[in-house]
Structure 1
Amino acid sequence: MKVQANGLQIEVDDTGGEGRPVILLIMGLGMQLVAWPRDFVQLLVDAGFRVLRHDNRDIGLSEGFDHKGVGNIVWESIRLRLGLPVRSAYTLQDMAADSLGVLDALGIAQAHVVGASMGGMIAQRMAATAPTRVQSLVSIMSSSGARGLPGPRREVAAMLLRRPLGRGEDELIAHSIRLLRLIQSPAYPQTDEALAERLRFAMRRAYHPAGMFRQMLAIGADTERPELLGRIQCPTLVLHGEPDALVPIACGQDTARRIPGAQFVPIPGMGHDLPPEVCAILARHIVPFLNATPSRHP
């Protein structure tokens, strides 16, 4: 279903029913709400939660920003490395306002907020700037964004900049599988068939690479977040895969160090993806953490 959130049309999936504590799941760069596996959502619903997923702005079935153009990714990357401001069509704070707008549209005063990768960055901003709305924060395979933290492994960075060999569906899926193989959870590899099925479903639902590039610039422009993290007051759990090749574990460790009282849990064998085994591990950490979090009155 679509809701009006922060002045935009945002696509939302609402599972579990009203009257339960709410978990808001926020997905990462260029990823649609369906990137949160249905089995993971069901684990949280079975634990007694109402689970919301939404397509971030500019991705999936939510409102896009093609009228803003894409910008020069290479030049803005150079500016980022030089410590110069990155120009972006919108900010991660705007995207945090979208997520808060989803809660507003559904009449939800407060939620547990769980974000993966870029979604963790958005969730961090929500917790820092709207403390009465966030009951607890779970930041998964994400980063504080502080300068000096390690970036993707060299082969991953190169693959991110490589163009697909063609524009057909099969070529695009093959290109995505090559990237996923570099960042996958080494202890829990998935078959090419399973990856292709998931990618094909997502691509046929919506395919909008320009939105991913604008989101990438929003991440690059978000230079103030490291200092904001010290303002977070809600209980916080930081989960990160030890062999993550896209966002190295040092990024998660720095996030937890900057958030007062945050718990940090390294996950052996977990990369930068959500295979079934990793989803089960994450749920085993997340559900007890949320159940132990007291209600915080807005």
Structure 2
Amino acid sequence: MTEVMKTIDISHLGGSKVGYRFGKPYDPSLPTLIMNNSFTTSVELFRPQFADSKLMKVANLLAIEPYGHGKTYPEYRQFTYWDSAIANLQVLDALGIAEAFALGTSQGGWIVAQTAMLAPDRIKGIIPLGTSMDSESQLSRKLGCWNGIEFCTPAIDALAEPVADDWTVPDEFVVGVLDAGLGDTVTAEDRAFWLDEYRRNYKGDAGRERLRISSINLRDRDSLHARVGSVTCPVLWIHGTADAVYSVANAQDGIRRFSQSADAQLKIVDGGQHFLSASDPQHVNPATVEFINRWR
């Protein structure tokens, strides 16, 4: 049975509470797999991984919520994706875990790459899913990716002013994220679940501010193209052909930049959506099991 959601204290950003969940009680005989969720979602994105007995047998599944997401709150009010990568490592420290694999969906993909850059001696391999290693650049759009500036800017502008305590995230924001992430695989039940989850996580003025900074981070992130050559661990990038946000051509361009990786592979999932861990676990989970068994 999946462990309950918890928070843990770390020192980063003036002191932070970080939301995390294990798939089952920690087993020191198994390797650990960090899992970072996609834009404005939570550890609930990884329900299909927590439900997979084969995956649970090969690793301790440790979902960690980035800054601005779920139950993760810093004392300081500004943060970037690099801060979430640092938080990954400090959570491992706090839990007494020396090393780990790391899987990340969409924004989680570049967070796990950043984590591997920061601590190459601790990250044994990374699995980026439906992601990009670029900023919202001209090259990205030339390769067939979405225009993240056009997607994020209206929300950033709309969230600029303080709101009352009874404010909750607009439904249209949630629906827009789900449509981009899950496409035609999102069910009415999924939509209702995520609407409730978002309303819990983004309410009142603090919720508005977290949502705005998370949107700014997505739109204004730095490119990792010049940095990923420092990643030395194995990389398995999994990408779907139906990804509405980042293209297969962009993934092909991105994977070749891991020039110093022990082994950098791109796996294409026919019909796979953007939030691959949620939409296509039947492809992601077995590939993850194989990757961990190969490189543990």
Which range, TM-score by smaller chain? 0.7 to 0.9
- Counterpart selection for 1:13 from 7, 11, 21: 21
Bigger mean CA offset, 151-160 vs 275-284: 151-160
Question: Could you tell me whether the CA contact under 8 Å between 1:240 and 1:252 is conserved in 2?
Answer: yes
- Counterpart selection for 1:195 from 191, 209, 234: 191
Question: Could you tell me whether the CA contact under 8 Å between 1:58 and 1:211 is conserved in 2?
Answer: yes
Q: How does 1:74-93 map to 2 (within 5 A)?
A: 89-93=78-82
Structure 1 runs not aligned, ≥5 long: 69-88
Note if 1:109 corresponds to 2:98: yes
Deviation at 1:247, TM superposition (A): 2.2
Quote the Cα distance in structure 2 between the aligned partners of 1:233 and 1:220: 27
SS of 1:176's equivalent in the other structure is: helix
Say which structure, 1 or 2, has more relative contact order (CA 8 Å, 6+ apart).
Answer: 1
SS of 1:149's equivalent in the other structure is: helix
Question: Could you tell me whether the CA contact under 8 Å between 1:177 and 1:192 is conserved in 2?
Answer: no
Q: How does 1:29-68 map to 2 (within 5 A)?
A: 29-36=39-46, 38-43=47-52, 45-64=55-74, 68=77
- Counterpart selection for 1:125 from 108, 114, 117: 114
Percent identity reads 21
Question: Could you tell me whether the CA contact under 8 Å between 1:173 and 1:196 is conserved in 2?
Answer: no
Deviation at 1:291, TM superposition (A): 0.7
Quote the Cα distance in structure 2 between the aligned partners of 1:190 and 1:275: 13
Deviation at 1:249, TM superposition (A): 2.5
Question: Could you tell me whether the CA contact under 8 Å between 1:128 and 1:229 is conserved in 2?
Answer: yes
SS of 1:47's equivalent in the other structure is: helix
Match of 2:265 in 1: 263
What amino acid is the match of 2:106? S
Deviation at 1:219, TM superposition (A): 4.2
Deviation at 1:255, TM superposition (A): 2.1
Change (3 A) 1:122 1:102: same
Match of 2:154 in 1: 161
Quote the Cα distance in structure 1 between the aligned partners of 2:265 and 2:191: 32
Match of 1:236 in 2: 235
Deviation at 1:106, TM superposition (A): 0.3
Match of 1:177 in 2: 175
Deviation at 1:266, TM superposition (A): 1.2
Deviation at 1:245, TM superposition (A): 1.2
SS of 1:103's equivalent in the other structure is: helix
Note if 1:140 corresponds to 2:142: no
Match of 1:149 in 2: 140
Note if 1:2 corresponds to 2:7: yes
Deviation at 1:154, TM superposition (A): 6.2
Per the normalisation by structure 1, the TM-score is 0.78
Bigger mean CA offset, 133-142 vs 172-181: 172-181
Quote the Cα distance in structure 1 between the aligned partners of 2:278 and 2:222: 34
Quote the Cα distance in structure 2 between the aligned partners of 1:276 and 1:168: 28
Q: CA-to-partner distance for each residue in 1:34-85, whole Å, 9 max, x for gaps?
A: 222x2322326533211111221222211156x74xxxxxxxxxxxxxxxxx
Change (3 A) 1:143 1:50: same
Quote the Cα distance in structure 2 between the aligned partners of 1:209 and 1:35: 21
* Count of residue pairs the alignment pairs up: 267
Match of 1:97 in 2: 86
What amino acid is the match of 1:22? T
Question: Could you tell me whether the CA contact under 8 Å between 2:105 and 2:276 is conserved in 1?
Answer: no
Question: Could you tell me whether the CA contact under 8 Å between 2:272 and 2:279 is conserved in 1?
Answer: no
